[in-house]
Structure 1
């Protein structure tokens, strides 16, 4: 079972089910169910921390409600390390839900490379332009590196 700890040290379990995947689609417009055929959702989630935490909220809402954690308070429980740990947990949960999906396995097996590739793109943008433009975003590229 995939899990991560937030900045307060609370552990959150991530288990995908048909119902939770439907909840994510309904509440965030992210279709985790297509992960067995298309990796576009990976870029949609992992390139936007706000959207990523929305997905996590949907998946963790029952646990949060038991703990008395509101959606706003949930968002305050994430920093850089916890986002990375939660991303790894989500990659594992997706791979567990889609055990025969090559994309899901690649995401799980290459999570560190995926994070590094995203960081490399950001560094390249910063070193090329000096600073990010508030009106432009870096071009999208393959999220799951070959490896």
Structure 2
């Protein structure tokens, strides 16, 4: 089954990985997609959306050429939820490239990675929703401000601020 994603312009892109696709991605994006198996490619893609866009364009280039869509126009279609949909399609396409039983191992690894990503986002959300977060940030700012003023780096004292007339 071929993986697909729909960009912001409603273009449907088929992610079909074969050896020709692997060579094209390496030539255009400078990335060996087989690093997915033992390298850090998945982690890099989760942080580097420009690299992800280059890889996706290289994967979909025959379709883009057929439709007269440039790499810049392709990139304009990648934003928001499209990024996660396209990433999922790319990972699923890579998994589908491999024969059994390796495919099952990669499916398990991809599922584990998605689970870890989801849990990481949940932890970040919990931290952001914590009532203590604002106070922690303010405490840190107060501490840094105290260090700056106690080191004599400040040229303005609280007393001079109080005695300065408003204009």
2:103 aligned with 1:106, yes or no?
Answer: no
Aligned partners of 1:13, 1:34: CA distance in 2, in Å? 21
Alignment match, 1:27: 28
Number of corresponding residues: 129
Between the two structures, name the one with larger relative contact order (CA 8 Å, sep ≥ 6): 1
Superposed displacement of residue 39, structure 1: 3.7
Compute the displacement of 1:106 (Å).
Answer: 3.0
- Is the radius of gyration larger for structure 1 or structure 2? 2
Contact kept in structure 2, 1:91 and 1:104, CA below 8 Å: no
Give, in whole Å, the separation in 2 of the partners of 1:106 and 1:7. Answer: 30
Structure 2: stretches of 5+ with no match in the other structure: 138-167
Instruction: Give per-residue Cα distances to partners, 1:118-145, cap 9 Å, x unaligned.
Output: 6458769986996xxxxxxxxxxxxxxx
Structure with bigger helix share is 2
Q: Distance in 2 between matches of 1:39 and 1:62?
A: 27
Aligned-residue offset at 1:102: 5.6
> How far apart are 1:110 and its partner, in Å?
4.1
| Superposition TM-score, scaled by structure 2 size | 0.65
Cα deviations across residues 30-88 of structure 1 (Å, max 9, x unaligned)? Answer: 2112333x141111222100000000000011101111111101110011110011011
Distance in 1, Cα, partners of 2:42 & 2:105: 10
Give unmatched runs, 5+ long, in structure 1: 131-147
Alignment partner, residue 41 of structure 2? 41
